[in-house]
């Protein structure tokens, strides 16, 4: 087994070029369609991963998740009880950025793309049982069906697009996470935002200041996904 090519010597080979070009094409398509209804389901998946990250942080810190909502206006909420609040609050924005990176990296290999699709489908199925509104229930059911169709096409036909679908969701999630942090936490002050609540617990920064820090971390996740993807494909 070859050692990882951390220095990216000889970059870029055919697979690396295809990886970068595909991400570039997806980014342009996403930006062109940003304000259209076509991207709404994928934006809502990012909101889902945001809220799911709150839920995961709650459970990992011994709390209880009482319910979750994702709304058609691209908002959402997770009702928790117990757990470590100062870990639960930043987990939403940073968690969704992390999952975006994970999906981008998973797309570099068919096996990991299958694992990512199965994991996302399982998460959607689990959330069905704690969903508090029909927008979230519909999103879960719709994407489970969507992923199942893509999986069947991958395994039984010549339409091999599972890796591209996982990559698109990852790129969309990463871009929307960065934008969401800017729009919700930096460009305007929303007193009910996660950053404002976090600033009450950790007053060394304002809510906007924490938004900038979280935005930088989120952007680092995006850059790391590109670099690590190239390392994997080298």
Full-model pTM: 0.93
pLDDT at 188: 73
Q: Pick from 225, 227, 234: which is nearest to 106 by CA?
A: 225
Residue with tokens 């570039």: 24
Q: Token pair of 108, please?
A: 């570099």
pLDDT at 179: 87
pLDDT at 1: 59
Chain-wide mean pLDDT for the chain?
92
pLDDT at 192: 74
Q: Please say if the pLDDT value at position 130 is more than 70.
A: yes
* 157-190 burial: b if 16+ Cβ within 10 Å, else e: eeeeebbebbbbbbbbbbbbbbebbeebbbeeee
Over residues 96-121, the mean pLDDT reads 96
Over residues 96-116, the mean pLDDT reads 95
pLDDT at 16: 94
| pLDDT tens string 16-67 | 999 999 999 999 999 999 889 999 999 999 999 999 999 999 999 999 999 9
DSSP 123-163: HHHHHTTTB-SHHHHHHHHHHHHHHHHHHHHHHHSS---HH
Q: Token pair of 116, please?
A: 């990512």
pLDDT band at 187 (very low <50, low <70, confident <90, very high): confident
Q: Please say if the pLDDT value at position 78 is more than 80.
A: yes
């Amino acid at each position: 087994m070859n050692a990882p090519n951390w220095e990216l010597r000889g970059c870029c080979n055919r697979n690396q070029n295809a990886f970068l070009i595909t991400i570039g094409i997806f980014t342009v398509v996403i930006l062109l369609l940003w304000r259209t209804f076509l991207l709404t389901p994928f934006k809502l998946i990012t909101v889902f991963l945001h809220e799911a990250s709150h839920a995961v942080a709650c459970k990992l810190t011994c709390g209880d998740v009482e319910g979750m909502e994702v709304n058609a206006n691209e908002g959402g909420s997770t009702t928790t009880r117990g757990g470590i609040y100062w870990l639960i609050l930043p987990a939403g924005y940073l968690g969704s950025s992390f999952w975006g990176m994970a999906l981008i990296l998973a797309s570099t290999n068919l096996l990991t793309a299958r694992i990512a699709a199965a994991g996302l489908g399982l998460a959607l199925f689990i959330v069905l049982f704690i969903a508090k509104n029909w927008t979230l229930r519909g999103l879960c059911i719709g994407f489970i069906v969507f992923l199942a169709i893509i999986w069947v096409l991958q395994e039984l036909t010549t339409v091999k697009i599972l890796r591209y679908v996982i990559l698109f969701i990852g790129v969309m999630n990463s871009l929307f996470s960065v934008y969401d942090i800017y729009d919700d936490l930096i460009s305007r002050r929303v007193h009910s935002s996660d950053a404002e609540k976090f600033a009450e617990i950790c007053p060394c920064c304002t809510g906007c200041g924490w938004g900038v820090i979280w935005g930088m971390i989120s952007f680092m996740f995006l850059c790391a996904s590109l670099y690590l993807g190239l390392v994997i494909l080298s």
